[in-house]
Structure 1
């Protein structure tokens, strides 16, 4: 069997602001944007980090004791996988015949105290084909999100697309990136937040979120010889005003960094974009065959590696909060596992 020609794909990176902490209204907005991208020929439509229904921007600018109201609103607007909201997202993908990637705040089915920063990928039939949880919440994000796991840390085939996804700072995690590449990733989605307050001291240059996004995207594309679709969430005045509540310093911090959405090619070149600050859609036409010749020179998961020297082991299980043992007998125990989806599995 010979290698069939790999697909040419039109991709869309949507840079948009959710309806702040309102899940249904954010999905309404997503539906219109997916239809717009599909009408322009996009086959992959990617949205930014926690688009449903908002990145916890207050974590970086308010004292923890002043965050309770926003945290409760985020929990109430979070979704559980398998709920009506995820079914609706699948229908949106199917109705528009697109692959849909979207960031969500995922509420654990077993506890109101556990929220994950998750990314969902739906195929053109509307099936949920990848459900990832961010491995490590970054810095002040830990006030909101739990650490995730490596379940789903694999590319989805999608008729030879081999689509993988990482969330924000995961795109700096060398081992996470290599795990995707070593499983044949060809097309990568990187999602990012609307802002990242970091350096509040007067006279210091603020953290350059836009440049950090560009550096990470170029590094992954160049090292792996893959295409990267970067989708960031936009920051709108409504979110800023709700969090700052008239505090000029908080507003300044929230607006000090600018995000970016773009498409990067396997040479590290910019294929489309970047779109910064404003809402909009970045379109890129990509040819996955471009990796073949480039990997002849530099294939970090194949010829340009020493697999006899380096080995990487990854635990892809999804941790369970409890293992329930019942029917103890002389022959042994019957064990039930409560999964991360709230289901009970029998051994």
Structure 2
């Protein structure tokens, strides 16, 4: 008989210690313990939580952002790496799953970064490592394109978990790829705010409204629970932005910020919706509640036409080099050197 897990989820509506990976991981480790003590089986952190979201790319011309980019590159983390190992150890020690957004670095380049998300098991193992497929708008100045190696659903004791980063939740093909792998619980991670215009202009981007639309759309279409975690603007981010001038600070403070929530398969919030100040949001999830709505619209089952529509995903990782192993060069040496041949007289 098929079992449907019940568990408590935690969405971490929190800020990074901006551009400080070590202190941000310290904070994450503390929150992981707090969520576990509150009975949560999983805690989800925001987009690029370690070491913070590069909001400056929206607030000034690219030629002004070199110092901040260097700081981000220096504080971005490798997978695996010491910061990630600490997060894995905290998950194992407290017996809780962890979803965390990181700015990912690589030993192949000092300037190539990815906007990534890790899913860590309660045993401390990395279950999934997803790189954002396409950085959004001004993020293209910071991060490289990802790949589909992590565009997968992970079977866990609390259900089949998929995850997408911010604007990826607007991509119907990426979302369908997770639906078609039997996703039951979706994790969405977001930045603290998303400036696209001066806050006083018509047409400014309201991140909370956008989250509510796209998170609800995926929950309703996939018939899944959607755990949404957004970051918060704090004093460490404001201090870093102050060097850009008063106008940048004004835009940062006046642009609508994001929200954290958990939505059910009917697209309605399960419990509270958190905005503003930092905090941990908890919601109790019963995966069994995803079954009945599938009777109405099951887009990966009977409510589709697979003879008409087809989606193919290339999940190969995109690496800068592929090295084929070989036997290498051979330099036989038996321990004795052959004497040099005699040279004709008068030659060098």
TM-score by length of 2: 0.91
Q: Which structure: greater strand fraction?
A: 1
Cross-structure match for 1:30 = 28
- In the TM superposition, residue 205 of structure 1 has moved relative to its aligned partner by 4.5
Q: Quote the Cα distance in structure 2 between the aligned partners of 1:323 and 1:189.
A: 32
Tell me, what secondary structure is at the counterpart of 1:105? strand
Cross-structure match for 2:170 = 172
Tell me, what secondary structure is at the counterpart of 1:276? coil
Cross-structure match for 2:122 = 124
The aligned runs of 1:97-176 (5 Å cut-off) are 97-159=95-157, 161-176=159-174
Tell me, what secondary structure is at the counterpart of 2:272? strand
- In the TM superposition, residue 82 of structure 1 has moved relative to its aligned partner by 1.2
Contact kept? 2:118, 2:130, Cα under 8 Å: yes
Q: Provide Cα deviations, 1:231-260, integer angstroms capped at 9, x if missing partner.
A: 111110221221132722111211212110
The aligned runs of 1:275-286 (5 Å cut-off) are 275-286=274-285
Does 1:307 find its partner at 2:303? no
Change (3 A) 1:122 1:202: closer
Q: Quote the Cα distance in structure 2 between the aligned partners of 1:284 and 1:39.
A: 14
Tell me, what secondary structure is at the counterpart of 2:156? coil
- In the TM superposition, residue 204 of structure 1 has moved relative to its aligned partner by 1.9
Q: Quote the Cα distance in structure 1 between the aligned partners of 2:108 and 2:261.
A: 37
- In the TM superposition, residue 85 of structure 1 has moved relative to its aligned partner by 1.4
- In the TM superposition, residue 273 of structure 1 has moved relative to its aligned partner by 2.4
Cross-structure match for 1:268 = 267
- In the TM superposition, residue 269 of structure 1 has moved relative to its aligned partner by 0.7
Tell me, what secondary structure is at the counterpart of 2:181? coil
Change (3 A) 1:22 1:288: same
Q: Quote the Cα distance in structure 1 between the aligned partners of 2:242 and 2:227.
A: 31
Cross-structure match for 1:251 = 249
- In the TM superposition, residue 147 of structure 1 has moved relative to its aligned partner by 0.5
Contact kept? 1:137, 1:145, Cα under 8 Å: yes
TM-score by length of 1: 0.91
| Structure 1 segments unaligned to the other structure (5+ residues) | 330-347
Cross-structure match for 2:315 = 316
The aligned runs of 1:7-46 (5 Å cut-off) are 7-46=5-44
Contact kept? 2:60, 2:244, Cα under 8 Å: no
- What do you get for the CA RMSD once the two structures are aligned? 1.6
Contact kept? 2:13, 2:279, Cα under 8 Å: yes
Contact kept? 1:241, 1:251, Cα under 8 Å: no
